Amino acid sequence: AKCQCKVVPKQRTNCGYPGISAAECKQIGCCFNASVPSVPWCYNPKQKKVKKVCPNDPYTRINCGYPGIKAKDCTKKGCCFRAHPAGVPWCFYHRTVEE
């Protein structure tokens, strides 16, 4: 993603070798920008930002508890709790999504 390559030139970490081409650099999953001298032109992208969310679709829930688990015991385990609908886990794992 383009926004992952917006790294301050002084904070770039080298991702290639001296003289690497833009094509080779991108092929190995790195960013290439030759506009600033004396900093790495082929560099590592920024880490993707992720956040934990409780999935909205009750049928995609992955069980994190046991039948009859209490909400506070579920959240103590770091999981989501929603006591509805019937027939699906009420205590279930978060999903991670990219911001």
Sole residue written with tokens 């409780």: 54
Global pTM? 0.54
Provide the domain limits for residue 28. Answer: 3-47
pLDDT in tens, 51-83: 899 999 999 999 999 989 999 999 999 999 999
| pLDDT at residue 94 is higher than 80 | yes
Same domain, 61 and 80: yes
| CATH classification at residue 70 | 4.10.110.10
Residue 98 structure tokens: 């990219």
Plot region of 94 (φ>0 → left; ψ -120 to 50 → alpha; else → beta)? beta
| Residue whose entry in the numeric block shows the structure tokens 């506070």 | 72
Same-domain status, 34 and 57: no
Q: How far is residue 70's CA from residue 66's CA, in Å, rounded to a whole number?
A: 9
The answer to whether residues 72 and 93 belong to one domain is yes
